[in-house]
Structure 1
Amino acid sequence: MNVKAAVVYAPGDEYELSNLKLAELQPDEVLVKIVASGMCMSDETIRKGQTSVAFPVVLGHEGAGIIEQVGNAVKKFKVGDQVAMSYAYCGNCPSCQTGHPAVCNDWMKLNFLGVRDDGSHTFYTEDDAPVKNFYGHSSFATHTLVHENNLTKVDADVDLRLVGPLGCGFLTGSGTVINGLKPKVGSSIAVFGTGAVGLAAMMAAKLEGCSTIIAVDIHDSRLEIAKSLGATHTINSQVEDPIAKIAEITANQGVNYAVDTTGVAPVIKSALASLARGGVIAPIAVSTNKTELNITSELMLGSKSIIGVVMGDSVPQLSIPQLVKFYKEGRFPFDQLVKFYPFEDINQAAKDSTSGSVIKPILIMDESYTAPGN
């Protein structure tokens, strides 16, 4: 079938809406009509050519839609199901079998090589030239083919325009706190960078019972949003030294936990220096930057730890419904962070996200979709 997709033909190019051909459905796949897709800073990192992902490629990995066709080997889904899409994993390796599919042995192959497990492509130009996919589904398209492992069924009363970002950005931020740091009730945490991932981490810290939640950013507008979502303190690091301010807030003890979503080396160093003795930091930005540390003075003597957390160490099929539940209860109000854009305005949405004027752009592929209750 023919679909419309936002293709990046070469590193640094803008998105170009193109007519592509979709390959035939394989037995373990479903055909999804995409209603909407969030935009993530990871998409921008790849679009700019800062990773090893090959071009041309259809990006997007925060999609939500409705299943229109099901392969004969698919067991968990049926036509008409509403689904959110997340990362691909094999389901068979030791990591997957022990509940950590975000570190699947085949993670890079399934999510970044841009082809199916058998090496075939899902997208082709009208001249039959192959186009790479991303995260096993490529949600910057009107339709896509997806392995059932990428999918999470969501309730029929959920607004599909909203839930796509639960598959990556909001999943990563919240999961980093809930599954990675596992903060103790009454503990303190600082979140460096209050974009979508950072604010999700901050909301999760509130859910987990942290009593001191410090938001650090350079945008006053985002810090105001952080206050409304549970931050007990905010720091504009262009105006105040975050290390000194965090020391003041914590009576010179430092915070028990820190999350860095910036990937900027000096910011990571500040976050590490702001930790209390025995504190833990999770740097989770997708970045090519390098950070140099003195292991003895910056880690060992303070008994501090750095942990790696991919995709919030979340199992999407468990975590996405949990986040939807928290949202319905008013405890994870991520809808306050989004702005909708028509699909054809994808380049403007990307610019607004990069500038910081919009926290989470969401592209609407299906303008005819009507949210439940409307």
Structure 2
Amino acid sequence: MGLGSFAIGALVVLVSSSWSYWIFKKRKLIILKEKFFSQNGGLMLKQQLSRLERSTQELIKMFNSEELKRATNNYDESRIVGQGGFGTVYKGILPENKIVAIKKSQMVGENQIEQFINEVVVLSQINHRNVVKLLGYCFETQVPLLVYEFITNGTLFEYINNQSKASNISLENRLQIAAETAGVLSYLHSAASIPIIHRDVKATNILLDDNYIAKVSDFGASRFIPLDQNQLATVVQGTLGYLDPEYMLTSQFTEKSDVYSFGVVLVELITGKKASPFDRPEEDRCLAMYFISCMNNDCLNQIIDEHMVIEGNTEELKEVANLAKRCLRVKGEKRPSMKEVAMELQGLIRKKTSRNDLNPAKIKYLLGKASTGYVVRG
């Protein structure tokens, strides 16, 4: 055999070996992705989504791990925009400079997987302008990932608990945010094809865009309510300071439990205080109870956010406070429905805009922002 033939033979062996190794690695990666997909409940999710209309299924994209890795610069710390018990949220940049938010689960566990699947199923059937839009998911990584539209201005919690930011949102903004959030909950409770209870209404789950328009998020704990039922028996879960006391006693969750949590958000909006702070005396650590005590003792002025106490706001603040007090009634049956709450808040916006002598176009614009416009999927 000549030297040339030997070189060609060696090259063939090298190329063949490299090709075989590449195929082996690719096959190994495919097997690993399939393992993660199954481990993260992907098969269960596909089964649940298959029950929905094809048009609905097509709206939720199944992303691959490589494109989300590129979008976040390999999950670089500089891309982190939020962290919590659920995991970490990254700012991602997809092709054509499309900016998204990518939620990465903190761990793989039955409860976390159930919440991620639940969020996909619930959000796949909601298309409401004041609900954060779910764009897709990726379950072929070690922990599941969800991809959402990116909301630029952070959470309501960040605004009402930050002195420099709080001054940027007027009472008019706050009424708008409250009305939009109430509109979402009203839709979930009474206009969705199958009623939905959010179960984790709180200031950190209300995002704000550049115009301070509210976007309700985090539906991992949400539940569909069969039409022949009005309550669900569940293990008590939620966030301290927002939990309905009746639910904590009975484990029976109803739409009125969302009303209670929303009442706490209303109190946060007009007081600028945290729902469950640890920097106050023990007896005042529950904002809802502290607020009710102030209302009953006619000392509301002691708790109202100083940014709200300006000439002309007194009447509106009292009306919002009275609405919040009704939402926080101990017995759920005595609380108003979210539909009633949304209508009252829209009425307050109408009165305030009229009092400010705004033109009809501006009034229509504000009321439109607070309306409950929606499209039902599924």
Bucket of the pairwise TM-score, normalised by the shorter protein = under 0.3
Whichever structure has more strand as a proportion of its residues is 1
Which has more helix, going by share of residues? 2
TM-score of the superposed pair, with normalisation by structure 1: 0.23
